Amino acid sequence: MSRVGKKPISIPKGVEVSIQGSKIVFKGAKEQKELETHGRVKVHVQDGLLSFESIDSQAQSRAYWGTYRALANNVVVGLSQGFTKVLEINGVGYKASVSGKNLEMALGFSHPVVYPIPAGIEMSVDKNTITIKGTDKQQVGQIAAEIREFRPPEPYKGKGIKYSDEVIIRKAGKTSKK
């Protein structure tokens, strides 16, 4: 059983945390985020630490305890440092560029693929890498997955869009009969 809920979250400088009923309000330098707990856990803020407490010892309550602690930690890290995903484009003629509020990609189709960049997300393209930055971990990961879905890497030549730390296991091609 995980004990994630027991670890308190240290609140860095530049992030303010307050509790309003069952909501936890986080204020960063640029934006404000809220986390609704629906009264499923007890939340305490003291001495620059944010700690969570389970309401009772049932399995469901302990699951909420760890979940809300992890979600709150993601908000604090997002407001203080931010999250980044890096995608690589591999393939002859495959390229990407940011123009205005759109990411335009040439991925071997008969038409260019245009992906609108959502609010709160920064994208940059350098040669064959796409860098996605934002304060919301879930949103950054979802956008990276949607872009990768346009042309997932194939196992024979490795062409397509992959995460920078992803390893593509290659398959052997056809062999001639002897």
For residue 111, what pLDDT is reported? 95
Of the candidates 145, 137, 150, 146, the residue with the CA atom closest to the CA atom of residue 166: 145
CATH no. for residue 132?
3.90.930.12
- Say which residues have a Cβ less than 8 Å from residue 165's Cβ, sequence separation at least 6: none
> Each residue of 20-49: pLDDT tens digit?
988 999 998 888 999 999 988 999 999 999
Q: How far apart are CA 109 and CA 58, in angstroms?
A: 53
pTM of the model: 0.87
Q: Which domain holds residue 64?
A: 9-81
Structure tokens at 93: 């003629």
Of the candidates 155, 158, 160, 159, the residue with the CA atom closest to the CA atom of residue 171: 155
On whether both 98 and 147 belong to a single domain, the answer is yes
> Each residue of 101-126: pLDDT tens digit?
999 999 999 999 999 999 999 999 99
Helices 59-80 and 137-150, interaxial angle, to 10°?
Answer: 80
Domain boundary among 81, 111, 140: 81
**172: in domain:** no
